[in-house]
Amino acid sequence: MQFKGNTDKSSARYWNDLAELYQRETRISTDDFHYGPLLPGDSVLKLLPSVPQRSCLEIGCGAGQNSVFLAKQGAHCTAIDISEEQLAHGRKIAAAEKTSVDFRCISMDAMGDPGRFDLIHSTYALPFSADPQKVIADAAAMLNPGGTFLLSVGHPLYAGEWLEIGDGEEGLFLPNYFEPEPDVRMSLDDRTMSAAQYWPVSTVAEWIHDAGMVIQRLLEPAPMPIPEMSETEIRAKVPYEGAGWRELYPNLARVPVVVIFKCRCA
């Protein structure tokens, strides 16, 4: 089956089908802010601005664990996602944490005008957008003056394929850095599909620039040293992980899985 691109309808079906398994098999902490699988959280990277009493929007929130974390710090949080099933998990998590998050079923590709915010953040949601440049422009338009846009997207090198190159060694084969292949994904019953897109780092940087924002920091973080850590340390220091991601640690330790942009509204 040929993939023809994400649409709101196909993305909603895919994430609704996957939500239960995804939330069960992926441990996502609400005690730290996560940026991607096996990566250090914000307690280490320290990219977040001060959030108490600040208005925050999460784009493509899934179950909104990052928004729940911010709400626990005193932020006023809105979180949007296209999947009602993911949002249902988010509401349960927020209730269990005794926090308030305004969860809304809204597509990132058609956000409308949910308000004005001091912090807009999105962790690995933009790769599923049909029009990522518009999402970034819309986010910039919703930022208050001096506000922060915190964006984590798939790193284009991670679109490569690992191949054996002899003597038990593996190397990364990337046919075209400027047009990386999408990561096409099927649901468990093969009924629905979605794809994570990758772009050159400079392409995303240009979208941010064109939206009138200034990049303050750019990070390509390495994973935490999972093989050297105890289970207690992993649970305390790695906010996003699971068995499947642990199996990929040897590759993640050699090629960044995400690139993070911290941006300011000019």
**Helix or strand or coil: residue 238?**
coil
Rounded Cα distance, 51 and 58, in Å: 13
Rounded Cα distance, 208 and 136, in Å: 7
Q: What are φ and ψ of residue 213, in 5° steps?
A: -105, 160
Q: Which helix (H) or strand (E) holds 204?
A: helix 201-210
The length of the chain in residues reads 266
Rounded Cα distance, 79 and 108, in Å: 11
How do beta strands 240-241 and 55-59 pair?
Answer: unpaired
**Contact yes or no for 241/257 (Cβ under 8 A):** no
Please give the pLDDT value at position 187.
Answer: 55
**Helix or strand or coil: residue 61?**
coil
Q: What are φ and ψ of residue 142, in 5° steps?
A: -95, -5
Domains plus CATH for the chain? 8-265 (3.40.50.150)
Centre a 10 Å sphere on the Cβ of residue 201 and count the other Cβ atoms it contains.
Answer: 18
**Helix or strand or coil: residue 160?**
coil
**Contact yes or no for 51/67 (Cβ under 8 A):** no
Looking at this protein, which amino acid is placed at residue 178?
Answer: F
Please give the pLDDT value at position 3.
Answer: 40
Please give the pLDDT value at position 2.
Answer: 38
Please give the pLDDT value at position 189.
Answer: 59
Digitized pLDDT (tens) for each residue of the chain, 266 residues in all: 334 455 667 778 888 887 888 888 999 999 999 999 999 999 999 999 999 999 999 999 999 999 999 999 999 999 999 999 999 999 999 999 999 999 999 999 999 888 899 999 999 999 999 999 999 999 999 999 999 999 999 999 998 999 988 787 888 999 999 998 887 766 555 565 667 899 999 999 999 999 999 999 999 999 999 999 999 999 999 999 999 999 999 999 999 999 999 999 87
Tokens 């075209």 sit on residue: 176
**Helix or strand or coil: residue 260?**
strand
Looking at this protein, which amino acid is placed at residue 243?
Answer: A
| Of 252, 186, 192, the residue nearest 223 (C-alpha) | 252
Query: Rounded to an integer, what is the distance from CA 169 to the centroid of its chain?
Result: 30
Rounded Cα distance, 240 and 42, in Å: 12
**Helix or strand or coil: residue 123?**
strand
